[in-house]
Amino acid sequence: MSVQRKRGENALAGLAGGSRYLTADLRVEAYGAVDELNSTLGFARSICANSQVCEAVRDIQETVFRVASAVASPPAGKRAAPLSAADVNRLPEMAHAIRAKGGILPDWSVPGAHIQSAAFEMARAVCRRAERCLIRLMESGAEVDAHALPYIVRLSDMIWLLARQVELDAQTEARARDEMKAGER
């Protein structure tokens, strides 16, 4: 198996349906940003200790994979399962469930308070870049699945909440350890 590009170094990327684009094309840039988002979410999930957050992120990653497929081809092109309004609407439902638990910081914080939350903050920043890339692609007149941008816009907020959730988990664990140590004295 070769790790080199099969078609040489002609700076063309093959996308869904066999279309070929220059690697600097707006569609390739947007698809690449969504692909990078999925990778950063995978990294955040791999170091996250909260199994419920990990499960939610795995589900999100599967949808982000479909977003990437939708961006990699015009709406009529061949791709993975299409996006739907249900995909977009699932994110606010997930966000509501996190907020309902209580204790989530209501405002922005400086990233890096905890390694797990910092990984989610990186994913959020990549998500915002993917959003900007999608907007540029759409402004160029390219066809893009109507649900791709709304999903990505809502996802950045969801990722922010996931970062806050893992920070809250870390603070709760630290308090429990401190209380246990104080009780041993």
Domain boundaries, the chain: 12-184
- pLDDT surpassing 80 at residue 76: no
Higher pLDDT among residues 150 and 4, named by residue: 150
At residue 37, the pLDDT reads 98
The CATH label, of 1.20.120.140, 1.20.1200.10, 3.40.50.1100, 3.30.930.10, for the domain at 12-184 is 1.20.1200.10
Contacts 24+ apart (CB under 8 A), 86-91: 87/63, 87/147, 87/151, 88/147, 88/150, 88/151, 88/154, 90/63, 91/151, 91/154, 91/155, 91/157, 91/158
Most confident among 19-23, 71-75, 134-138 (mean pLDDT)? 134-138
- With bands split at pLDDT 50, 70 and 90, how would you rate the model's confidence at 40? very high
Query: Structure pTM?
Result: 0.81
